[in-house]
Chain A
Amino acid sequence: MAYTVRRPNLTFWEKLYLPNIVAGLAITFNHLKKMLKGETKVVMQYPEEKWDAQLPEYYRGAPTLVTDEHGRERCVSCQLCEFICPPRAIKITPGSLPTDSKFAKVEKAPQAFDIDMSRCIYCGLCEEVCPEQAIYLRKDYAVTGESRADMVHHKAKLYELGGSMPGLVHKWNPDK
């Protein structure tokens, strides 16, 4: 059913419009004055001041690879992240562990692991899909480079950014 919206009854001064314009000008001028006096502090001078310490635990920065507490790489190059990656930023060349390693017959490891950061959308699906908890989105967000090639994070860079992540992998945890 249609209903009528009651228009507010304006006083003469409100109808005149100009006093309200002056009031509005006063508001904006106060903002200007407070900014000039330095009383308003809302802007962060980015490269000098950073918010990194306050980033939440769940912050989704650049995806990285992590090692476990023994320094072994967790990634077994199952390529699930490569398949789920919506912008197809991940490219994995599967490989095996060196033959002298005692896990050589047990696990595999990526020969090459490239994440193209110019394509990555920081969605976190790779972290979610990884059965080995090998790939994590860490808190690096300022990823820059001077060429497209610079923007590709290779395996060494990914491990450098990721560091180690001790603790049980979920698949070995009976509670999970």
Chain B
Amino acid sequence: MLEKDVEDRLKKAFPGSDVMVSDMTGGGSNFEVRIIASQFSDLNRVKQHQAVMKVFDVELKSGELHALSIKSLAK
């Protein structure tokens, strides 16, 4: 996947969120994601990470995405 794809998918899933994505290895399978979203305000950390990973459920299951390193904050 490309950084842009990951970013667009997150912005669509969490409208109004601030998203920063960087490809950790350049191979399109390990991404670092920083996201600040108002939708996280009543979610604890585990739930926030689960919500972010859910957006890429298919790619994580297929192995196209190997790892998502997530830093999430509620706006």
Do A and B originate from a single complex? no
Q: Could you tell me which B residues sit within 8 Å of A by CB distance?
A: none
